[in-house]
Amino acid sequence: MANPVTGPVYIKGVEPGDTLVVQVERLDLDAQGATYWRPGHKPLGDSLKWSDLSVPTLVIGRIEDGEVLMEEAATWEDGKVKRHALGLRVRESPFIGTIAVAPEREVETSGLGQGSWGGNMDVRDICPGTRVLLPCYHKGALLYVGDVHACQGDTEFYGTAMEVRSAVTLHCDVIKQRRLPFVRLEKNSSIVSLACARPLEEAVWRASIQLMEWLVRDYGCSQRQAYLLLGVNPDFRVNVYQMAPIGKLQYTVGAELFKDCLPVGTIAG
């Protein structure tokens, strides 16, 4: 099964039209993860110039002391397994790749299903310490979680991160009678408005305009203030979390603004 998730989890007290607030408390990872690519795996899996990437390849990552160690790649060539030294290590940065409530309509799969309810968004900021705000469409919210990654670069460049098993600890609250336009994140030092769309610029515009709406509605900004905070503020960020070239998967963008940029005296609603 591609992109399996655990659920549904029924959250008592949640009704359609509410917002579910999920606090990510802990991610306890397995001792190893894995990533892979295969022939035709975009963007470079069918390239003559990058021919080393045109064979089935598996990389095991050992997770220890806050790092992911990738010592070798195993490839399948000419009917046999070949091993290639890598000697790479990267920082462990675990997050939940797929988090969603039951959508308002049926979706194709948990891998391709994305929308205002959440889904397979691969947002590296959905990590311990982050609050995830999800608009709800059904009684009990019906929460699904899965697809934990030990680490991933922005865009999930070739469509597979360092996939890993994990025990996940969450805490859920509800904001009654508040329907959001899309998933939002509250980090310790910033707020992030998410959007999923193709082409990429459409996702950027949606996330940014929804961030402006958030600033006006909850932080007391005027429309002019919100526009300026995005247009000329060097601490406004657009994060391209996922741009994996996989079927009909949409691109996930986060428009992020640091809280210390907000005008003096604004208070979250």
Model pLDDT for residues 50-94, shown as the tens digit of each residue: 999 999 999 999 999 999 999 999 999 999 999 999 999 999 999
Query: Which element (helix H / strand E) includes 186?
Result: strand 184-186
Contact between 244 and 124 under an 8 Å Cβ cutoff? The reply is no
Residue 218's identity, in one-letter code, is D
pLDDT score of 266: 53
pLDDT score of 269: 43
Confidence tier at 108 by pLDDT (50, 70, 90): confident
- Does the pLDDT at position 206 exceed 80? yes
Tallying the residues shown for the chain, one arrives at 269
CA nearest neighbour of 17 among 157, 149, 201, 176: 176
Q: Which of 37-41, 44-48, 82-86 has the highest mean pLDDT?
A: 82-86
CA nearest neighbour of 243 among 254, 232, 259, 258: 254
Report residue 252 as tokens: 């996930």
pTM of the model: 0.94
* Interatomic CA distance for residues 129 and 170, integer angstroms: 10
Report residue 58 as tokens: 């598996």
pLDDT score of 113: 83
Report residue 204 as tokens: 């950027």
* Interatomic CA distance for residues 77 and 96, integer angstroms: 33
pLDDT score of 191: 98
Between residues 38 and 109, the one the model is more confident about: 38
pLDDT score of 181: 96
Q: Other CB atoms closer than 10 Å to residue 169's CB: what's the count?
A: 12
pLDDT score of 4: 83
Model pLDDT for residues 131-149, shown as the tens digit of each residue: 999 999 999 999 999 999 9
Model pLDDT for residues 229-268, shown as the tens digit of each residue: 999 999 999 999 999 888 889 999 999 999 999 886 554 4
What number of CA atoms fall less than 13 Å from residue 124's CA on the CB side? 18
In sequence order, what DSSP letters do the residues of 76-139 get, joined into one string? EETTEEEEEEEEEEEE---EEEEEEEPPSS--S-TTT-EETTEEE---TT-STT-EEEEE--ST
Domains and CATH numbers, the chain: 5-27+95-261 (2.60.120.580), 28-91 (no CATH)
Vertex 141 angle, CA 15 and 109, to 5°? 140
* Interatomic CA distance for residues 23 and 170, integer angstroms: 6
